[in-house]
């Protein structure tokens, strides 16, 4: 993913997380990922695998395509 795509994807994750009222740590615990990894995703620093994208979507209660809307 390019930096622009990672930044937009990370912003989408952050927006959905905040909509649920969760901290990064809460999201990480629910997804089964480390908190610093979730933070890196949200900052656009981490290139995320399809497996983790699917876990994030399921935990956030959205479809994978919604995570990439406007990305």
How does pLDDT run across 35-65, given as a tens digit for each residue? 999 999 999 999 999 999 999 999 999 999 9
pLDDT of 1 reads 57
Q: What is the mean pLDDT of the chain?
A: 95
Vertex 54: Cα angle to 5 and 48 (nearest 5): 40
Total Cβ atoms within 10 A of residue 17: 21
Domains recognised in the chain with CATH numbers: 3-63 (1.10.260.40)
Radius of gyration of the chain (CA): 11
> What percentage of residues in the chain have a pLDDT greater than 70?
99
pLDDT tens per residue, range 3-41? 999 999 999 999 999 999 999 999 999 999 999 999 999
**8 Å CB contact between 57 and 63:** yes
């Amino acid at each position: 993913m390019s930096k622009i795509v990672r930044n937009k994807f990370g912003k989408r994750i952050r927006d959905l997380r905040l909509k649920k009222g969760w901290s990064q740590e809460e999201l990480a615990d629910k997804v089964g990922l480390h908190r610093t990894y979730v933070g890196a995703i949200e900052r656009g620093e981490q290139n995320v695998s399809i497996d983790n994208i699917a876990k994030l979507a399921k935990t956030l209660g959205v479809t994978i395509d919604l995570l990439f809307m406007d990305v």
